[in-house]
Amino acid sequence: MTQVTPAQQLFDLSGEVALVTGASSGLGRRFAEVLAAHGAKVVACARRTDRLAELAATHKGISPLALDVTDTASLKGKLEEAERAFGPLTLLVNNAGIASGKRILDTAQEEWEAVQKTNVDSVWHLSRAFAERLAARQSPGAIINIASLVAERVGMSSAAYAVSKAAVLHMTKAQAIEWARHGIRVNAICPGYIASEMTDAYLASPAGQEMVKRVPQRRAGDASDLDGTLLLLASPRASGFMTGSAIAVDGGHALA
């Protein structure tokens, strides 16, 4: 029988080099901090470079990189730039995204296109460029896509966002089955409502408070509630036999 690996070794990410998108605030910033705290070198990416610089100043294992995930033509060059910071990338966290809080008939074409371009197209193109690099050098790695509770459970005011996250969930499975032969694991996290810049206004509203009452745990999540799931999927020791999985972290909301 295989020897038992202590937890501190199971989630030790020393030697891993991660790129995290949308890292200037919210979940992305937390992901970068958690990965770095467990030994990974992290390239933190976003458009708000002032916030990235502040984040990088808190940890020597974090390097900032200006990145607009919707600028498809720049992505391959940005991956090369990222690897100049800490060496070959082994982990990609596709976290960047924007929300839409409107019903279908109220959503302008420009808003629909912006949500799909940021939430879906960027995951497709950046993941592909990342996988190409790993396959070319025959190196294993992992991709963690951030989907959502609403990928499978829609509401009355987030149609464009829900559709985009459903696409991310299905894309995760397609990537997983195609890239398993290259040693690339692809999994998704499906958060429920987590307190962040994106959700704080809604959670403080009467509608948000009513929604929280419907969550079995009777609370919104905190970014720290995702730490364990992130580390599980990032660690080749802890999740080496997982690919194509989607893990819900929602306080039981999907059951309600």
Distances (CA, A) of 114 to 53, 188, 199: 26, 22, 18
CA gap 22, 32 in Å, rounded: 10
Distances (CA, A) of 57 to 44, 50, 229: 12, 11, 26
Which listed residue (31, 161, 179, 193) is catalytic?
Answer: 161
CA gap 66, 82 in Å, rounded: 10
Active site residue 161: yes
- The token duo for 108 is 């302008």
What residues does 91 pair with on adjacent strands? 18, 142
CA gap 240, 167 in Å, rounded: 24
Active-site annotation, residues: 161
